[in-house]
Structure 1
Amino acid sequence: MTNGHVTWLVSPLGYQSITKRCPSCEVKKLFFPAGTFRVNAQKKTLDVWNIYKCEKCDYTWNIDIFSRVKTGKLDPELHQRFIHNDLEEVRRYAYDYPLLKRNQAELGPLPDYEIKGPSPYAFNDSRILHITIEFEQAIAVRFISLLTRKLCLNRRQVVQLIEQRALLDVTVLEINRKLKGRRSLRLDLQRLHALDIPLTTSSAPAVTI
């Protein structure tokens, strides 16, 4: 028997929304990135905004990315990505939580996410599976939600794994905490299979890869 190593990458689907009162709808609405930047050049300075649009109408709101930055101090490649509305940059700034906070943006609901990486049940020749959880973006997800999804178990069953020392480096108290950065843990596959816990198909959504 050998030890295996896997990485689970938590990747949000779509964009992080923000919520604010829409003057057109006259009520609070969710705003999502429109997929475009606004770049305004004045002499030797630039202003750059990420444009957000109301979920119900065409009203837009600009999130300030750069204000009065000297043209020579902005990376030329980044400048071109702004001009050409590079969607990777749109996505990156949509998850720039310090930037959103500086703009006093109120966050909307956490977007759904997928967990990329092999299932632990695919490893038949390993004793201990070393698992590293990585985040593509710094979204805050409850530890227990990640575990139930990827292990295809419910909360009670995950707690049983911890108590029976099948799930290592994790305590029952911390599974309610939110993660948004790297976390490592181990899974004793021999003990997991010995416990013979039935999988819950409802805990295995299609977005789990």
Structure 2
Amino acid sequence: MINGHINWLIKPLGYQPITKRCPSCEVKKLFLPAGTFRVNAQKKTLDVWNIYKCEKCDYTWNIDIHARINTNKLDPELHQRFLHNDLDEVRRYAYNYSLLKRNHAELGPTPPYEIQGPSPYALTDTEQVIITLDFEQAIPVRLINILTRKLCLSRGQVARLIDEGVLLDLSPSDLNRKFKQSMTLRMSLVRLYQLDPPFVESTSNVEVS
């Protein structure tokens, strides 16, 4: 049997929103990172916050990152990134779910995301493909949403692929599970092209990137 191996990287776009009652709007609103940190120095200790802003107004809410941390215990390079509002750090802390939980932040909807990696249909002369899913950030995404997008199929068609022995190592209940960590599944291309009626007749009109 000729096997192929591809990787799909689930990469969120933007930030993970949080939900909070906005005192200015007087209703629950989505809050997103403003792109800035607040650093407060008191002698040899520091307080650091990631500043969030209401999606509709200028009301802000601070998410604690460090409270009363000794300056000697904070990496000097990280300290400088806080002071210069490094956007990579803003994004990294926006997806720090344990930090958000510690701040009693209620998560908003899963942010939009892209799936980087080739389509299995692009593998010619391959009988079975091993697909590894990796997450750049631990966003909760249903497996069915990943598969429908990358395989260019409907939900019903993806479910049938399990019944027909095309998608291996999966049960129908797995499709609605929300995954946050890497996983691997197998797909029989030989069995896929044997389906009647065929789901994929050629690779000329399907996503390959």
Compute the TM-score of the two structures, normalised by the length of structure 1.
0.92
Inter-partner Cα distance in structure 2 for 1:155 and 1:57: 38
Any residues of structure 2 matched to 1:25-104 within 5 Å, and which? 25-104=25-104
Any residues of structure 2 matched to 1:1-209 within 5 Å, and which? 2-195=2-195, 196-198=198-200, 209=209
Structure 1 unaligned spans of 5+: none
Inter-partner Cα distance in structure 1 for 2:61 and 2:159: 45
Three-state SS of the structure 2 residue aligned to 1:126 is: coil
**Which residue identity lines up with residue 74 of structure 1 in the other structure?**
L
Q: Relative to structure 2, which stretch is displaced further, 66-75 or 1-10?
A: 1-10
Inter-partner Cα distance in structure 1 for 2:173 and 2:192: 20
**Which residue identity lines up with residue 52 of structure 1 in the other structure?**
Y
Inter-partner Cα distance in structure 1 for 2:181 and 2:45: 35
Deviations 1:126-166 (A, max 9, x none): 11111000001111111111111111111211121111111
Deviations 1:155-193 (A, max 9, x none): 211121111111111111221111010110011111112
Inter-partner Cα distance in structure 2 for 1:102 and 1:36: 20
Inter-partner Cα distance in structure 1 for 2:23 and 2:199: 53
Calculate percent identity across the aligned residue pairs.
68
* Cα offset, 1:2, TM superposition: 2.6
Three-state SS of the structure 1 residue aligned to 2:127 is: strand
Change (3 A) 1:126 1:198: closer
What is the root-mean-square deviation of aligned Cα atoms in Å? 1.7
Instruction: Give the number of equivalent residue pairs.
Output: 203
Three-state SS of the structure 1 residue aligned to 2:79 is: helix
Are 2:193 and 2:200, in contact at CA under 8 Å, matched by a contact in 1? Answer: no
Inter-partner Cα distance in structure 2 for 1:183 and 1:127: 20
* Cα offset, 1:81, TM superposition: 1.0
Inter-partner Cα distance in structure 2 for 1:166 and 1:198: 12
* Cα offset, 1:31, TM superposition: 0.7
* Cα offset, 1:198, TM superposition: 4.7
